[in-house]
Each structure stands twice: as structure tokens, then as C-alpha cells.
Structure 1
Amino acid sequence: MALALVVRFDLPDAASAARFDRLAEEVVAAVAAHEPGTLVYATHAVDGAPLSRVFYEVYADDAAFRAHEEAPHVVEFHRRKDPLLAGEPEVRFLVPGPATGVPAR
């Protein structure tokens, strides 16, 4: 069963946001190369909130999500991005509904 979530990150200033964006580029490339169970790993800037970022993530199942969280490139991403944040990220797990392009639950 697919598992989906969104994570919002708020950054304190433009320099932190730029560094966060570079880290995001690196982790997205590593996820694409090494995580077949990660079906969607999309990053977004928030319209009207230039210091906020949102990740939308879809995993094939719970095991794929656990593998993602334990992957060395993800652990390193968290280590490097944590000092850049203005506060704790907001994580929301989603209950899939009707969709196209996303596996059904």
C-alpha cells in the first residue's frame, strides 16, 4: 500500500534557503538513483512564502518509507539541513484518495 506525506520546512533567511535548496537538489538526485520504492519525491517553494519549502513524497509501502529514512544520503541530508531551519519541520501523513499518477492505497 502506498504511503504519502508532505513536509514543510521554514528557513530564517535567504542565505539559509539557498543552502537548503542546494541540499535538496543533492538528496533528490540520490533518491532517484538509489530508491526504487520512492515513487514521488518532489520539492516545492511555497508561493507567497519565499522562505518556505514543501516536499511531497510517495512511497510504494511502509518498507520503502523506512528504507528511505535509513538511507545514508537521507540521514546526511537531515544532518546538514537541520541547522538551516527556523523551527521544526511540519510533517503530515496523507490518506490517499482518488488520484491519477499516484498508486492507489
Structure 2
Amino acid sequence: MGFGLVVRFIAHDPTAAQAFDRLAEEALNGIRAQEPGTLVYVNHAVADEPRVRVFYELYADREAFEEHERQPHVRRFLAERGQYLESFEVTFLDEISGKGTAGDQALQ
């Protein structure tokens, strides 16, 4: 079954949010190129909240997430994100069922 998380980030100000987006995009370039177990990794802006970003991440399984966390591009993102942020909150998700997910494939 898939393993996922949602992270809500609050930047210091809109300028910091834009710098955070650039840092996230650098990490995403590595994720696209080197992480087959990372199924979905999306940075979302929140309507009417210019300082807020929400990441949705879905991995093939817990091991794929752990491999993601070991990657140099992710380690750099984790080390540098704090300079832009006021706070963040992580919610881990265990898939029950869905469409277009690892769990969906297992049910076929």
C-alpha cells in the first residue's frame, strides 16, 4: 500500500514563500530524475494565503519514503528550508484505498 504525507508550511512573508518555492523546485528536479518510488510530490499554493504552501507526497511504500529522505537533493532542502519558514506541520498518511495509487493497483 502507498505511504504519504501532507506538509503545511508557513513562510515568514510572501518573498520568503517565493524563495522557498525555488528551493523546493531544485529538490523536485532531483526527485523527478532519481526517485522512482516517489509517485507524487506536489507543492501547492493556498488561495488567499500567500505565505502558505502545502506539499502532498505519495510514495510506493515506507521504504521509498526513507530512500527519498536519504537523497542529497532532499537533505539540502531539509537543511535550508528553515530560513524561509515561520512554521510547518507534517501529517503522515497510510493509504486505505484510492484511484491511481499503489493501493488501487493492488486491488486489481
Q: CA separation in 2, counterparts of 1:44 and 1:3?
A: 19
Question: How far apart in 2 are the matches of 1:37 and 1:25?
Answer: 18
1:67-86 alignment to 2 at 5 Å? Answer: 67-86=67-86
1:41 Cα shift? 0.5
Cα deviation for residue 97 of structure 1 reads 3.5
Contact 2:2 2:94 in 1 (8 A): no
Match of 1:103, as an amino acid? Answer: A
2:66 and 2:95 mapped to 1: Cα distance?
A: 19
- 1:86 partner SS: strand
- For normalisation by structure 1, the TM-score amounts to 0.92
User: Matches of residues 38-77 of structure 1 in structure 2 within 5 Å?
Assistant: 38-77=38-77
CA RMSD of aligned residues (A): 1.3
Which runs of no fewer than 5 residues in structure 1 stay unpaired?
none
Letter in 1 for 2:40: V
Identity of aligned residues (%): 47
Aligned pair count reads: 104
Relative to the length of structure 2, the TM-score reads 0.89
